[in-house]
Amino acid sequence: MRLLRCGADAVLVELGSLTEVAAARVVLGGVPGVVEVVPAARTVLVAFEPGALSHSAVRAALAATDLTSAPATGGREVLLPVVYDGPDLDLVARTAGVGVDEVVRLHSGGGYTVAFSGFAPGFGYLTGLPDLLRQPRLDSPRTRVPAGAVGIAGEFSGVYPKSSPGGWRLVGRLADGADELFDPRREPAALLAPGDSVRFEVSG
């Protein structure tokens, strides 16, 4: 673990795993004076009220925590209906050595947690992808992935909130009528937040 100052009132904590990030996010979020905790794949940025905390106080809070145990998420439960007709569904099945129906069963049967957000507003990196479906990104990224596309890459699954370039393997799309992942007119604007639990439901 390494702590780096980010201005006068923020610290970037470098960690070794997603489990450590999740544990640090929870403990730091409960420290008085903290105003924001932003997790990423191997870091947590903690911002606090001016003068409320110090570099050493953040270190002490983390030292008193078992960062090797994943905490209870404490977030909301979000159900996302999915039509499994993605353009890479056959590729994912061939790579995994199973049939398409098994890919759908495995992906929709997993219990996912939003580890962190990034790439685009509303995009959540979801952990919990079954081992058999962990596959690399496409060799050549697409110049346009439609909004609502459901993909996998490495140890993550995710849903594209808006149309954008992307290299994840696409297995499906959100069903018509599903909640938008990002709506700036909504409070909060992002449907998914770190710590939320996500389930995919087969639709269509």
* pLDDT given at position 78: 96
Parallel, antiparallel or unpaired: strands 34-39 and 43-48: antiparallel
For each of the chain's 204 residues, which pLDDT tens digit applies? 899 999 888 999 999 999 999 999 999 988 888 999 999 999 999 999 998 777 788 888 888 888 888 776 568 999 999 999 999 999 999 999 999 999 999 999 989 999 999 889 999 999 999 999 999 999 999 999 999 999 999 999 999 999 999 999 999 999 998 889 999 999 999 999 999 999 999 997
* pLDDT given at position 73: 58
* pLDDT given at position 59: 86
Q: b vs e for 46-64, b when ≥16 Cβ sit within 10 Å of the residue's Cβ?
A: bbbeeeebeeeebeebbee
* pLDDT given at position 119: 87
* pLDDT given at position 65: 82
Q: Which of 171, 112, 124 has the alpha carbon at shortest distance from 145?
A: 171
Whether the full predicted model's pTM is greater than 0.85, yes or no, is yes
Q: What is the DSSP annotation of the chain? A: -EEEE-SSSEEEEE-SSHHHHHHHHHHHHTSTTEEEEEE-SSEEEEEE-TTT--HHHHHHHHHTS-TTSPPP--S-EEEEEEE---TTHHHHHHHHTS-HHHHHHHHHH--EEEEEE-SSTT-EEEE---GGG--PPPSS-EEEE-TTEEEEETTEEEE-SS-EEE-SEEEEEEPTTPPPSB-TTSSSSBS--TT-EEEEEE--
